[in-house]
Structure 1
Amino acid sequence: MTTKVFVTGATGFVGANLVRLLIQKKYQVRVLARSHSTLNNLKDLDVDIVFGDLNDIDLAEKIRGCKFLFHVAAYYSLYQIDKNQLYISNVIGTRSILKAAKQANVERIVYTSSVAAIGVKETGEIVNENYQAPVDKIIGHYKKSKYWAEQEVYKAVANGQNIIIVNPSTPIGPLDIKPTPTGEIILRFLRRRMPAYVDTGLNLIDVRDVAHGHILALERGEVGQRYILGNKNMSLKALLDELSYLTGLKAPRRTLPIWIPLILAWMGEYILCSFGKKQGIPLDGVRMSTKSMYYDSSKAVNELKISYKPINDSLKDAIDWFVNNGYV
């Protein structure tokens, strides 16, 4: 019989790529979608869609009959105004679906966390799964909410549930409909709206490799362990130079002093927002960029046996997807 799996967050970037891979691997896929969600990423896919929310009281019934669960859904915002929703969706929502999965007799769960939950060292050193930044040093409520969501997972594991954690870094590639913050960087570059850049760094990975890492975690992951799904550490300047090479467009050459976006972001969140104006740059996003976000994913390579696509190929695919879907 075909194995049934339940996926949350299937309409989003990582979830949509995961669903496609699950279908390729002959799983029968049931997805949870909110009634107001955009379903473009699920168009023409052979999936069973159930509508609801992570905190629904009948969530266990919606999951029942599925052997495995991928909890990919998360609320993402770096704005201060969304603080409460971040904890309701990411922390309480995770607690709720893990409880529902237990009631529905789900055998094994892969929880999609983020390197955000791990944090960074003040020195900017490369870190792995063994590092944990003190929660008071983790910047922003989104990242803190992912940290506290992981704590819910650890509690559930201690109570006997079979759960593996994956911590994607910064995915790029097709189906970035929202788009993600990194997708926004690519789009601003393509639209020639990036005259300067800040001196920061990040870890990139193809979103399809992230999807593959989820399935490898299901198949090979150790209960209660977390696995960083990341590929290449790159400075923002190196990323922009690679985009320039792929497109023929000029990369910005000037660095932007960090105090400029900090002031603009502060004004947006604490002055313009109070007048109902668009907030613009999120303050926490600027604060995060003061540290290089570099990670070591060798544990996933050694234990899950994951392999990675070249990042320049992933960037090219991301560019092509944005262009072909009318974003540029």
Structure 2
Amino acid sequence: MILVTGGTGLVGAHLLLKLLESGNKVRATHREKSNLEIVKKVFLYYHPSEKATDLYTRIEWIQADLDDIPQLTTAFAQISEVYHCAAMISFDSSNSKELRKTNITGTANMVNLAIAQKIEKFCYISSIATLDLELGERMISENFAWHPEKYHSEYAISKHGAEIEVWRASQEGLPVIIINPGIIIGPGFWNAASGLLFKKVDNGLKFHFPKITGFVGIQDVVLLSIKAMRSNLINEQFIAVSENKSFKEVLEKVASTLQKPAPTKTLKPWMVRLGWIFQSLGSMLFNTKKQLSSRDHKALFETSLYSNAKSKKDLDFDYTNIQRVIEETGNFYILDKENRST
């Protein structure tokens, strides 16, 4: 049996679907107030109602918080593989303590139990936020070290700390895989992460900004993770990025798909320094009322290019181009919007 943590999130829900489609027995963790229906909604994007319901009912759900060892111990019973997708995502510095508790301590609990239960293989879904560029290089790869002297968000620090726990477990005999996705584009979660881009453009977003970073479709994240777990490779790390794109390009494609006007105003550094746009940026990017810090705003203008050469070579993986991913996700957004209005 396969254990998936964070089963009600974007990655977890899509991962559950792929595993079930292949006939795997799966158990998924959720928190006390999680909305399990969102998982069924995701299944309905890809299958007729009867098939989606059949797949959904095969999930063995178990309530288990990452800091509750007895609950987690029960979740690990008769498990052979683990996909650890559960995480807290926040860019508010005030959430630092909770981020570290969930992402670092929670992951430590997971790998400790995996070692104790002699799990065959453990996959951790991390983030490109943990990867830094080496001096003199143009693209970021899996081989580059974390540079503690550089500024990192509290989220990045917590995910890096979680990776350290996974690598520590690998030294204690646990076979591991770490996946570092870029910004994940996929349907169903319109009030969080990249889903907000579709919602904000639909509501008339005016500004774009010049940041360039790595983007990837949710299907590619899931398929790459499964392929890495099915391979003979262990103790390896893979960047999951389809293409490096500017937010301007991505937002224009989102607007085109939704048949909405694209953002036409370019965000300038002086605008952020003056502070008059902090509030709207915090809302647009992170769905929070908290203002961005002066250090956070610098990231809005950075170019970070990520190499996917390792996953292509070692796993013979082909990525879906981002234009197609945006079109497919946008069509699901339109469908959801139509269903809400009926």
Return the TM-score normalized by structure 1. Answer: 0.88
Q: Is the 8 A contact 1:209 1:309 kept in 2?
A: yes
From 72, 77, 90, the equivalent of 1:64 is 77
The question of 1:246 aligning with 2:246 is answered: no
- Give, in whole Å, the separation in 1 of the partners of 2:105 and 2:27: 22
Q: Is the 8 A contact 2:6 2:12 kept in 1?
A: yes
- Give, in whole Å, the separation in 1 of the partners of 2:65 and 2:295: 27
- Give, in whole Å, the separation in 2 of the partners of 1:262 and 1:33: 40
Q: Is the 8 A contact 2:191 2:199 kept in 1?
A: no
Equivalence map 1:108-257=2 (5 Å): 108-120=121-133, 125-180=138-193, 182-193=194-205, 195-220=206-231, 222-257=233-268
Q: Is the 8 A contact 1:135 1:144 kept in 2?
A: no
Return the TM-score normalized by structure 2. Answer: 0.85
- Give, in whole Å, the separation in 1 of the partners of 2:273 and 2:35: 33
Deviation at 1:104, TM superposition (A): 2.1
Q: 1:254-282 CA distances to partner (integer Å, 9 max, x unpaired)?
A: 311124235538976xxxxxxxx932556
The question of 1:29 aligning with 2:26 is answered: yes
Cα distance change of structure 1 residues 161 and 199 upon mapping to structure 2, 3 Å threshold: same
Corresponding residue for residue 49 of structure 2: none
Q: 1:191-217 CA distances to partner (integer Å, 9 max, x unpaired)?
A: 112x12221112111101100011011
Q: Is the 8 A contact 2:115 2:169 kept in 1?
A: no
From 49, 71, 74, the equivalent of 2:61 is 49
SS of residue matched to 1:135 = coil
Cα distance change of structure 1 residues 197 and 5 upon mapping to structure 2, 3 Å threshold: same
SS of residue matched to 1:55 = coil
Q: 1:180-236 CA distances to partner (integer Å, 9 max, x unpaired)?
A: 1x222222112112x122211121111011000110110126222100111011112
Structure 1: gaps spanning 5 or more residues: 269-276
Cα distance change of structure 1 residues 278 and 88 upon mapping to structure 2, 3 Å threshold: same
Deviation at 1:70, TM superposition (A): 0.3
Corresponding residue for residue 11 of structure 1: 8
Which sits farther off after the overlay, 126-135 or 113-122? 113-122
Corresponding residue for residue 284 of structure 2: none
SS of residue matched to 2:275 = helix
Cα distance change of structure 1 residues 288 and 40 upon mapping to structure 2, 3 Å threshold: farther
Identity among equivalent positions (%) equals 24
SS of residue matched to 2:169 = helix
Deviation at 1:123, TM superposition (A): 8.2
> Cα RMSD over matched residues?
2.4
Cα distance change of structure 1 residues 31 and 263 upon mapping to structure 2, 3 Å threshold: farther
- Give, in whole Å, the separation in 1 of the partners of 2:296 and 2:232: 32
Q: Is the 8 A contact 2:142 2:237 kept in 1?
A: yes
- Give, in whole Å, the separation in 1 of the partners of 2:10 and 2:86: 10
Amino acid at match of 1:200: K
Amino acid at match of 2:155: Y
